[in-house]
Amino acid sequence: MTNNPDDTRMGHNAAVRADMIKDAFHQLVTLNAAKTEITNQIKKIKTQITDDLDMKISHFNLAYKLYQLESKERDSMLDTVRECFNSLGAGDQLDWVVASEANSGKGSSVKLPSDQAPSEKDVINELGPYLGAG
């Protein structure tokens, strides 16, 4: 507030405004304390996943993200993952020479090795318990 008498914040509603400001501060302090507590609980859960289950948190987070999706969106995401795995030979080392020859037109139909890439069945079996599928 200013000492300007033309300031509309001064006058008859100054006490109401002050109460609203105090209430907002109180609510923010309370909510931030709750947010900190919730954040700490989430960290504890994720620590248990990594320590007790010896699971990478990035893998767990992926499964959790899939778990949260509606079934139609989940199916779409799994289709995308399958397509990427099939297209890129995920899990294999990319042979840059073969890839560059393929892009330059020198190579023939190039299929990257996929003996280490998980199959669609493997992906579904691994994620099934987290997705409510089996």
Residue range 38-47, pLDDT digits in tens: 999 999 999 9
Residue range 94-103, pLDDT digits in tens: 555 555 555 5
Would the pLDDT of 107 be above 50? no
Q: What percent of the chain has pLDDT over 70?
A: 58
Question: Considering Cα of 104, then 106, then 110, then 116, what sign does the dihedral take?
Answer: negative
> Residue 1: what residue type?
M
**Closest residue by Cα to residue 119 from 93, 95, 99, 89:** 89
Q: Is 51 helix (H, G, I), strand (E, B) or coil?
A: helix
Gap between the Cα atoms of 51 and 75, Å rounded: 30
The CA distances from residue 114 to 86, 88, 110, 129, in Å, are 8, 9, 12, 25
